[in-house]
Amino acid sequence: MGELLGTTVELEVTNVAHGGVGVARLDGRVVFVADAIPGETVLARISADDHASFWRAETTSVIDPSPHRRPHVWQSAALERDPDARAGGAEFGHIDLPWQRELKRQVIVDSLQRFAKLTDHTALDVVVEPVAGDDAANGLGWRSRVSLHVDSDGIVGPYAARSHRVVAVPDLPLATPAVEYASPLDERLFGAESVDVISDGRRGARVVVHAPAAGERTPPAGKPPVGKPIVERVGEREFRLDELGFWQVHHRAAATLTGAVQRQLIEQLFDADAPNLDLYGGVGLLTAAVGDRFGAGTRIESVESDARATENAGFNLRDFAKATAVTARVDRYLGQMLRTMTSADRGRFERASVVIDPPRSGAGKQVVKSLLELRPAQLVYVACDPVAFARDLGQLDAGGYELRSLTAFDLFPHTHHVEAVGVLTPR
């Protein structure tokens, strides 16, 4: 092991893997190849060969290019840069937009087949839809939030791809103009560790510089500062949140997901008086989406582990008479519900609709197990990771739930990330 590290090899890339890398084989071993497109023949430098089942490589030049290859939208991440200095965060920037979405579709379908064991299912015909305006902008200018890092020399920039090395860059083409303009790329921030640049919810941006605690290179354990409040607008509704709190990164993502949840909820199964839930509810975005779809008297509770987000959710949902927001870990909340439930409670919950928008790691076995015991009338699963979604879906399918519909959205152009919204009901 290690004898191939740094070696340049010729590879034929056959398909795409989750994570935005191509897949090739060398001496019978799988090689995950960055900056390549399925169908290409490339020269690539082996960057890791110490894993038992696969190696990693970075493309250095293209021998036989794909017809879908384009000049990279971000020169700081292009092949012309040494692989060690290529900026991360735009791993699909060398691929034309429609083909990026096709590759993301392939990853979703592969995940559903491998981890959820779906075969001959209409969900396998899913299409990754663009967000309005992105094609006209060539997928640029959408990031309303950017996290940058600072090295020991005070240089501000993103990490190099698949590393923790800060690289200097002159621009941030995926960021909104206000966020890019406010980013201190040409400054030296000695003593700082990282920088968040956040849209202020209007036309400007805020810069938050993070410094480690005295005598430490990294901040002590605990929650980061939440920052000042900002207001985001989705349609006619306003949402208060802390500037460092969670909000969708694409400036049109919140509206896109609101519309998707509202369209995909099955009206015939929705009971406004049932104990409906929005799990991992954040500041109440999807709770409000449900309330706006089915009326101000809809009963629904947002469950979120972050106390500040819950406080903001309570404020944002104040015009819904029967909407509540609680601070709790979802697994513990559902476990407590199961422990205290009466038979009458169970009957009411079986009429409920549950929206679930878990983190990238997915809901996990315990949360899914609890949902299967509770058996709501419908589950609306908002997924930001196709593999985690497929794993949860496999458990739900084995427990008696059926995937009724699935849509996907390209909320992260020029990256490998993709969002999906699925609706499941008991068989």
pTM of the model: 0.94
Whether residue 254 sits in one domain with residue 368: yes
First to last CA, the chain: 50
Q: Considering Cα of 290, then 292, then 298, then 301, what sign does the dihedral take?
A: positive
Whether residue 345 sits in one domain with residue 264: yes
What is the set of active-site residues?
A: 384
Residue 248 marked ligand-binding: yes
Residue 225's pLDDT is what? Answer: 57
**What are the φ/ψ torsions at residue 321 (nearest 5 degrees)?**
-60, -35
Residue 13's pLDDT is what? Answer: 98
**What are the φ/ψ torsions at residue 419 (nearest 5 degrees)?**
-110, 145
Residue 385 marked ligand-binding: no
User: Within the chain, what is the greatest distance between any pair of CA atoms?
Assistant: 67
Whether residue 333 sits in one domain with residue 240: no
- Asked whether residue 233 is assigned to any structural domain, the reply reads yes
Residue 202's pLDDT is what? Answer: 85
Whether residue 304 sits in one domain with residue 234: no
Whether residue 275 sits in one domain with residue 251: yes
**Would you give the distance in Å from CA 65 to the centre of its chain?**
29
Lookup: tokens for 83: 């692989």
Residue 226's pLDDT is what? Answer: 65
Between strands 419-426 and 353-356, the pairing is unpaired
Whether residue 255 sits in one domain with residue 241: no
CA distances from 413 to 9, 179, 256, 380 (A): 30, 17, 14, 24
Whether residue 387 sits in one domain with residue 295: yes
CB 25 within 8 A of CB 37: no
**What are the φ/ψ torsions at residue 327 (nearest 5 degrees)?**
-95, 115
Residue ranges for the chain with pLDDT beneath 50: 1, 217-222
Residue 143's pLDDT is what? Answer: 98
Residue 221's pLDDT is what? Answer: 47
User: Which residue, among 115, 103, 113, 191, has the nearest Cα to 150 in the 3D structure?
Assistant: 191
Residue 48's pLDDT is what? Answer: 85
Residue 357 marked ligand-binding: yes
Task: List helix spans (H) across 357-404.
Answer: 365-374, 386-398
- Asked whether residue 150 is assigned to any structural domain, the reply reads yes
Whether residue 303 sits in one domain with residue 198: no
Whether residue 274 sits in one domain with residue 343: yes
Residue 219's pLDDT is what? Answer: 46
Whether residue 287 sits in one domain with residue 204: no
Q: Which amino acid is at 412?
A: F
Residue 79's pLDDT is what? Answer: 96
- Number of domain units in the chain: 3
Residue 304 marked ligand-binding: yes
Give the residue from 210, 245, 280 where a domain finishes.
245
Structural domain for 159, as ranges? 143-245
In whole angstroms, give the CA distance from residue 216 to residue 236: 45
In whole angstroms, give the CA distance from residue 192 to residue 17: 36
Whether residue 108 sits in one domain with residue 234: no
Whether residue 385 sits in one domain with residue 262: yes
Give the residue from 178, 212, 245 where a domain finishes.
245
Task: List helix spans (H) across 244-306.
Answer: 253-264, 285-294
